[in-house]
Amino acid sequence: MNHTIHVIKQGRMSRRRRWIAVTLVLSILSIALCCAMLLFGNTIYPVRDVVAVLLGEEIKGAAFAVTTIRLPRMLAGLFAGFAFGVAGYTFQTLLRNPLANPNVIGMTSSSSAAAVFCIIVLQSSKAVTSFVSVIAGLLTVFIIYVLAKGTSFAIGRLILVGIGIQAMCNSIITYLMLIGEEHNLPAAVRWLTGSLNGVKLEELPVLMISCLIMVPVICVLGRSLLILELGEQTATTLGVKTDWVRVLLIVSAVVISAIATAITGPIASVAFLAGPIATRLVGTGKVNIVPAGLVGAALVLASDLVGQFMFQVKFPVGIITGIIGAPYLLFLLIRMNRRGDL
Amino acid sequence: MKYHLYQAVQLVAGYDGKMILDEITLQIPSNQISVIIGANGCGKSTLLKTLANLIKPASGEVILDGRPIRTIASKQLARVVGLLPQSPIVPEGITVADLVGRGRYPHQSLFGTWSNQDYEAVAEAMEMMNITELANRSIDELSGGQRQRVWIAMALAQQTDILFLDEPTTYLDITYQIEILDLLTDLNRKHGTTIVMVLHDINLSARYADYLFALREGKLIAEGKPSEVITSQLIKDVFGLDCTIIQDPVTNSPSIVPIGRYHGSGKNTVLEANK
What is the DSSP annotation of A262-289? HHH---TTHHHHHHHHHHHHH-TTS--H
- The per-residue pLDDT for B270 is 46
A238 touches chain B (CB under 8 A): yes
ipTM here: 0.86
Q: Is the pLDDT of residue B275 over 50?
A: no
- Write out chain A's pLDDT in tens, 342 residues: 788 899 899 888 888 899 999 999 999 999 999 999 999 888 888 888 888 888 888 887 788 888 888 999 999 999 999 999 999 999 888 888 887 777 777 888 888 899 899 988 888 887 888 889 889 988 888 887 777 766 555 666 777 788 888 889 989 998 998 988 888 888 788 788 888 888 888 889 999 999 999 999 999 999 899 899 888 889 999 999 988 998 899 889 988 988 898 888 888 889 989 999 998 899 877 788 999 999 999 999 999 999 998 888 888 898 999 999 889 888 887 887 777 665
Q: What's the predicted TM-score (pTM) here?
A: 0.88
The letter for the amino acid at A231 is G
Where does the pLDDT of residue B268 fall: very low under 50, low under 70, confident under 90, or very high at 90 and above?
very low
A17 touches chain B (CB under 8 A): no
Q: Is the pLDDT of residue B169 over 60?
A: yes
- The per-residue pLDDT for B271 is 46
* Distance (Å, whole) CA A336 – CA B8: 43
Where does the pLDDT of residue B1 fall: very low under 50, low under 70, confident under 90, or very high at 90 and above?
low
Q: What is the DSSP letter of B266?
A: T
Q: Is the pLDDT of residue B111 over 60?
A: yes
Buried b (16+ CB within 10 A) or exposed e, A209-229: ebbeebbebbbebbbbbbbbb
- Cβ–Cβ of B94/A285 closer than 8 Å? yes
Among B75, B91, B95, the residue with its CB nearest the CB of A230 is B91
Where does the pLDDT of residue B272 fall: very low under 50, low under 70, confident under 90, or very high at 90 and above?
very low
Q: Which helix H or strand E contains B62, and what residues bound it?
A: strand B59-64
Where does the pLDDT of residue B231 fall: very low under 50, low under 70, confident under 90, or very high at 90 and above?
very high
Question: What is the pLDDT averaged over residues B261-271?
Answer: 60
* Distance (Å, whole) CA B60 – CA B25: 9
Q: Is the dihedral of CA A153, A279, B151, B65 positive or negative?
A: negative
- The per-residue pLDDT for B194 is 96
Determine what percent of chain B is predicted with pLDDT higher than 70: 95
The residues that bridge with B258 in the sheet, in sequence order, are: B243
* Distance (Å, whole) CA B258 – CA B260: 6
Nearest-CA residue of chain B relative to A11?
Answer: B136
Q: Is the pLDDT of residue B113 over 90?
A: no
Q: What phi and psi values does residue B250 have, to the nearest 5 degrees?
A: -90, -45
Question: What is the pLDDT averaged over residues B9-29?
Answer: 90
A96 touches chain B (CB under 8 A): yes
- Cβ–Cβ of B102/A241 closer than 8 Å? no
Set of chain A residues whose Cβ sits within 8 Å of the Cβ of B81:
237
- What is the four-CA torsion angle of B115, B118, B121, B124, rounded to 10 degrees? -80
Going by C-alpha positions, the residue among A335, A271, A339, A299 that lies closest to residue A33 is A299
Question: What integer best gives the mean pLDDT of chain B?
Answer: 90
Helices (H) and strands (E) in chain A, counts: 14, 0
